[in-house]
Every structure is written in structure tokens, then in C-alpha cells.
Structure 1
């Protein structure tokens, strides 16, 4: 049983420090934008930097929605202020008795429709990117357990499998990896290659989620779900189970290392020796 991880105790807020705190937030937002690749960083104010096509589509769509929502909020606020100032009892002691305005009714019907169309077009673009089915350069099977992940590689790259458990305590400190996000074994994939993952679970529902890759996919016992990604930047990317799966739900992280083709070939050669072979290799459902 792992002990729960507790952060530093809360401290009372002092008003003289408010300006410094605000400056720290604003200043660190830029740092977070530069450093937030593959893992969260303190005071991060934005999403993790996307490293796949799907993640970039989601990232751009997210910010487009924020601009649209901000414009709608400001417009409605302006209307409220105008009504309060122009039509209060002192400014207009005799209230207007207007009950119908054709142009206004047409406008408040058409404008929301146009807003929805502006949202729908990039939304469909994101959906198309997510549901496309390119030919895979590599297949990896991901299995969720209570409470860790296991990975199986096909016979053409070695036919091996391994478990990935949370690194805790002194081992985590020595690893230099972020707390509650590092695993003892990493899923390794080549950069700029289409990787398809087939995801299932051995016991209860889990969810394999990686923010920098822009997706999460449910791991359901007795069912095989499939997704793809193509990471265009080398590095180490972290995620976590995103389905409330039980007592150790918060302690089953995901670590994916994206490496060059040469490094991937070297890793698979080493992994075939490090991890026990799985007979005829991992079994995969048919996929392109």
C-alpha cells in the first residue's frame, strides 16, 4: 500500500504579497509555455504543448472557443451596461412599451447560428483527424491492470512485453522524473512514425491518456479500442489513467519515450534480452 502524497500545507494569503503573486503567475505563464512539454509545470496557465497533429488541432480549437466565448461575454456585458445606463428609471421615467422588433428578432436568431457554424467547422476538422485511419508503422498493445499498465510489442520488433509501475520514494528522486508520473519501464516509440495502440483492460475500466498527444482512450475488459498518433518531437511524455478505477487509480502513470529510428532499433534489441519473450509474440487484432 502506497502512502498518499501530500503537498505543502496551505498558508494564509497576505495582501502585500498579492502583487508579487500576480507577477509570478504572469511571468511563469511564459515559462510554462516553453517548458510544458510532456508534463505539467508549476503555475502552468495553458495546455501542454502538442506534439502530434491531433493534439495541435485540439489546441487550436480550444483557443478558438476561448476567443468566441470571450467575445460573447463582452458583448452581453456591454448590452447589460447599456440597458442599465440608458433605461433606468431616472434616465427614462416613462418606460418604453415596445413589444416587437423584427430586425432584432432576426438578428438574435441568425447570429447564434453563425457562431455555431464557426464552431462546427474546426470541430469537424478535429473529428476527421481523430477518426482517420492511416497505415501503421508500429503496433503496440496496451493493457490496463489494477493498478499498472503493461505493453506488448509485435513479433516483427521482438515480440516482448513488460509491465510499467509507478516509481516511488527514493527511486523516484534518483530518476529525476516528475513525482507520480514516472514509471520503471517506459513505452518507447520512434519519432515521425505512425503508431497504433490497441487498448484493453484485464480487470476494471481504465483510460490511457496522454495530454501532449491529444487523446485518451478507454481500456475496457473484453473490448479492444484502437487509436493512433504520430509524435513529431523526441522526448519523454507523461500521462495518467483518466478513469476512476479503484484504490490506486492515482498511482498508475503513463510514460512514453519518443526516440530516433536508430535509438528505437537499439532499444528493441536490448528489450528482447531484458524482457522475457512472449512465445509467438503479442497477438494483435487485424489493423492496417
Structure 2
């Protein structure tokens, strides 16, 4: 999870978030390169004493600064499209987690387990134990196996919510009367925190998301 003063992205804990970070670095290389070139040209032109008032056209230069940005856009668009298709890719995942947004809590159900549906409310600050996180802890957290493909089905019982786990690259809207699907898979066991990312009312900030990943053997038991 993100801590106070952090300036970098969260460490990736899923294949999708890893690809997102690689694309972020790819795009930053392009942006820093363009900024450096424009800044250098700006400085050079500001201190240049030569005049171009008699130059009417420069076809070679115009062709160059039309084609070069086109190649740069293609360089940025190809990995972006690959990532978009990767986000929409869904395998035949046997394990399903149903997440239903309410004002203002989440309810979950894992059809393949013996656990019936349960509600997940934020733990009040006065009830927090030592080491627990304010505004992020819940009383009931879904427990899932890591290194296992999982399909998360989201919907809402009232208004639009958004089920989000930043370190896993998961963000999917929970829309009333509609089912949305997203894939989920964790590299390692642990507890992952998220929050509703769609303003859904007065207590929007008080419906956190907590998922715990454990070994498959322990999950089956």
C-alpha cells in the first residue's frame, strides 16, 4: 500500500500492474525526450542572433516535423493498445469473487466456497488495533488464493461505485443493473488495500477494500 511521502508507484503485485508500470516508464522516456528537445531548441532560438525573416518556406523541415511526431505517436500507441487488450483478456477462471457496492460498504460472495455472502464495513477508528490502518481496515475481508486466476464480478445496489486495488492494477466500475468483470491474480500472499474510486455520496471515503491472499492449500482447507 502507499505510505505518507511516497512519490513512486506502488510495487506491482500482479502481472497487469507490472505491465502498467512498464508502459509508464515507456511513456516517461518519450515525454522526457520531447521536453528536453523542446527546451533545448527554445534556449538555442532565444540566444540565436541570426534572422529568418526572409525565409518563406522550408519544406524539408516541415516534412521532418510532421513525420517525426507521427512515429513518436505510433511508438506510444502500440504498447498502449497491447495493454488495453491485456486488461480486457479473460481466461476460463474457475474462481469467482462477487463484489457488490452499497452506500457505504461492500458485500462479497465466493460461489465456489462454502462461505455465504458477507458484508465488509470499515473499522471505526476507536476500534482499531495497534498496527492497523485508519480508514482502510474492514471487519470482514475476502480471502483468496494467490498465483490463481480469479474473476471479479462487480455491480451495485444503489449508485455507481468503483472497486479498486492500486497495487494489482485493478479498477472496475460497479454499476447498478450491470455486471462488470475484471481478472485478478497475485504474485505472492499478503493483504492488499484499496478504496472506492467513484464519488458515491457523503461517506464515499469510508468504504475501503481489503483482500487477503493465502496459499491455495490453506484456501481449500
State TM-score, norm by structure 2. Answer: 0.96
State the secondary structure of the residue aligned to 1:69.
helix
Separation in structure 2 between the aligned mates of residue 230 and residue 203 of structure 1, nearest angstrom: 28
Question: Is 2:32 aligned against 1:70?
Answer: yes
Q: Is the 8 A contact 1:141 1:153 kept in 2?
A: yes
Pairing partner for 1:204 from 125, 146, 159: 159
Match of 2:126 in 1: 170
State the secondary structure of the residue aligned to 1:244.
coil
Deviation, structure 1 residue 265: 2.3
Deviation, structure 1 residue 176: 2.2
Question: Is 2:186 aligned against 1:227?
Answer: no
Separation in structure 2 between the aligned mates of residue 73 and residue 247 of structure 1, nearest angstrom: 41
Q: Is the 8 A contact 1:235 1:258 kept in 2?
A: yes
1:196-221 alpha-carbon deviations (Å, 9 max, x no partner): 01100001110001101102100011
Q: Is the 8 A contact 1:137 1:193 kept in 2?
A: no
Question: Is 2:25 aligned against 1:58?
Answer: no
Deviation, structure 1 residue 99: 2.2
Separation in structure 1 between the aligned mates of residue 218 and residue 133 of structure 2, nearest angstrom: 23
Q: Is the 8 A contact 2:125 2:134 kept in 1?
A: no
1:255-280 alpha-carbon deviations (Å, 9 max, x no partner): 011110122124xxxxxxxxxxxxxx
Separation in structure 1 between the aligned mates of residue 200 and residue 32 of structure 2, nearest angstrom: 36
Separation in structure 1 between the aligned mates of residue 122 and residue 140 of structure 2, nearest angstrom: 9
Match of 1:271 in 2: none
Q: Is the 8 A contact 1:147 1:248 kept in 2?
A: yes
RMSD: 1.3
Separation in structure 1 between the aligned mates of residue 132 and residue 55 of structure 2, nearest angstrom: 66
Q: Which is richer in helix?
A: 1
State the secondary structure of the residue aligned to 1:150.
strand
Q: Is the 8 A contact 1:144 1:201 kept in 2?
A: yes
Unpaired segments ≥5 residues, structure 2: none
- Which runs of structure 1 show a deviation greater than 4 angstroms over 4 or more consecutive aligned residues? none
- Which structure is larger by alpha-carbon Rg, 1 or 2? 1
Q: Which is richer in strand?
A: 2
